[in-house]
Amino acid sequence: MSKFRRKSKGGSPGISTASLPDIVFMLLFFFMVTTVMRETTLFVDVLTPKATEIRKMEKKSLVSYIYIGSPVKRLQSSYGSKPRIQLNDAFAETADIQEFIATERESHDEKEIPYMTVSIKADEEVKMGTVIDVKQELRKANALKINYSTRKGTY
Amino acid sequence: MARSNRELQEINAGSMADIAFLLLIFFLVTTTMDVDTGIARKLPPMPEDEQIEDDSQIHARNIYVVLVNSNNQLLVENVPMDISQLKDGAKGFIDNNGLNPELSDNPEKAIISLQNDRGTSYKTYIQVQNELTAAYNELRNTAALSEFGSRYYDLPKNQQRTIRKKYPQKISEAEPKNVEENE
């Protein structure tokens, strides 16, 4: 009898899952820290064109975005399907760009201003006329560092 | 006896993992890992009023004219061209080194002049920009490999500058002329 008991004691116990919450929490914190919530709601449909010679953008905090594209489906009844410009959270005209650049500059340190970049996120169906107008306004605002946002891939 | 037993009971932490998993899945779904990528360009500053544009000093052979019309067709040096040939065409022009009297004197003088219509699609414009960048990148890579034995982007900053001086990327975009609106 005593022999029998000893044997059962030596049997392998089940794998402890006590540390599972810890592991999951670790993963959770990683994703919580790396998550960047989308700041702006897009009112325009933007599918950026594909390109191969692309570079990564540095310092996201120094980048301002200009979206160009047709309004999204649910807004097309009131805004039409003509390509529009979106700055921050609202539709804008080309004339608003200079003011937009000025406010973007105010929110940054003076030393950082030369490194500020404007990223043009335009839909591939947009005509160059709109983009040219935007670029002219950027030149007037003296925001010369620009970046044409593209996807990686061959066309 | 029963009472003291209840007091000692621990909170059941078995569901902790489930709650954590739920949160984890939420953050997994909302996370956007995409890095922004794109083609970087520098716009020329606005010309001052009294400054008159003077293109006459640049010899015509050093300018590679790329025109894109509203039907997204290319006209390169007065010859229609398919976009797939643009990269090789530009490379031949930049790295001509005076061999062909029609093309550039040397890479430092070579300028690519890009002009597009207001009706050109943005997609075509990016394709053209991409091909021209590809031409420069390939030339820089070849030069970097033969001089320093490494690809251009893997070189240290000062060596990159040497290569960049040899192949400066000069893409000029014509001031938008008063083209009729056809949107």
Average pLDDT taken over every residue of chain B: 79
Whether complex ipTM tops 0.85: no
Size of interface A-B (CB pairs under 8 A): 147
Task: Write the CB contacts of A38 (distance below 8 Å, at least 6 apart in sequence).
Answer: B32
Of B20, B46, B121, the CB nearest to A125: B121
Positions of chain B with pLDDT under 70: 1-7, 32-34, 49-57, 175-183
**Distance of alpha carbon B19 from alpha carbon A36, whole angstroms:** 22
For residue A41, count CB atoms less than 10 angstroms from its CB and return exposed for 0-12, middle for 13-18, buried for 19 or more: exposed
What percent of the residues of chain B are helix, what percent strand, and what percent coil, each to the nearest 5?
Answer: 40, 15, 45
Q: Over 70: is that where the pLDDT of A77 sits?
A: yes
What burial letters (b/e) apply to B142-173, b meaning 16+ CB within 10 Å? bbbeeebeeebeebeeeebeebeeebebbbbb
Mean pLDDT across the stretch A68-89? 84
- Tokens of residue B118, six digits: 């207001």
- Chain A residues with beta carbon closer than 8 angstroms to that of B17: 17, 20-21, 24
Of B33, B37, B183, the CB nearest to A129: B183
Q: Over 80: is that where the pLDDT of A155 sits?
A: no
pLDDT tier, A4 (very low <50, low <70, confident <90, very high otherwise): low
> Searching chain B, which residue's CA lies closest to the CA of residue A115?
B42
- Chain B residues with beta carbon closer than 8 angstroms to that of A26: none
Query: A7 vs chain B: nearest CA distance in angstroms?
Result: 30
Query: B157 vs chain A: nearest CA distance in angstroms?
Result: 16
Query: B23 vs chain A: nearest CA distance in angstroms?
Result: 7
Task: Report the predicted TM-score, pTM, of the whole model to 2 decimal places.
Answer: 0.75
Q: Do B38 and A150 touch (CB under 8 A)?
A: yes
- Chain A residues with beta carbon closer than 8 angstroms to that of B119: 127-129
Q: Do B17 and A57 touch (CB under 8 A)?
A: no
Nearest to A133 by CA among A107, A94, A75, A77: A94
Q: How many CB atoms lie within 10 A of CB A89?
A: 10
Q: Over 60: is that where the pLDDT of A116 sits?
A: yes
Q: Which amino acid is at B167?
A: Y
Q: What is the pLDDT of residue B1?
A: 47
Residue of B181 and A87 predicted with greater confidence: A87
Q: Do A53 and B41 touch (CB under 8 A)?
A: no
Of A24, A36, A37, the CB nearest to B24: A24
Task: Write the CB contacts of A64 (distance below 8 Å, at least 6 apart in sequence).
Answer: A100, A101, A104, A116, A117, A118, A119
